[in-house]
Amino acid sequence: MSTALEKTTQTESVSKTFTHEELPNYDGKNGASGFIAINGIVYDVTNFQLLKDGKHHGATPGNDVSHLFVHKNGILNRLKVVGKLA
C-alpha cells in the first residue's frame, strides 16, 4: 500500500508550496477553495461532503489537520493533491 506522499510523487507533480501563513486563505468561505494539510501534503476539500459545512471532527479547511487526522490513507486517495506545506 502506498502512502499519500508516494501517491503524490508517483501520479502527479506537486507544483505549489503553501506556507502556514498562506493556508488559511483557503478556508472554503466566500467562494474560496477549501484546502487542508495532512503530514505536509495539501489536499483540496472544496467539494468533500464531510467538510462541506466547514468542520468535521475538529478539522476545518485552511488548516494543518495532521494532529486530528484519524482516518487511514484510503480517504486521502479520494482527495486531489494541490501542493505541499512548507
Residue 70 to residue 6: CA distance in whole angstroms:
19
What SS3 string covers 45-60? CCCCHHHCCCCECCEC
Q: What is the pTM of this model?
A: 0.75
Whether the pLDDT of residue 10 is over 70: the answer is no
**31-75 pLDDT tens trace:** 889 999 999 999 998 887 666 555 665 678 899 998 887 666 677
Domains of the chain with bracketed CATH: 4-85 (3.10.120.10)
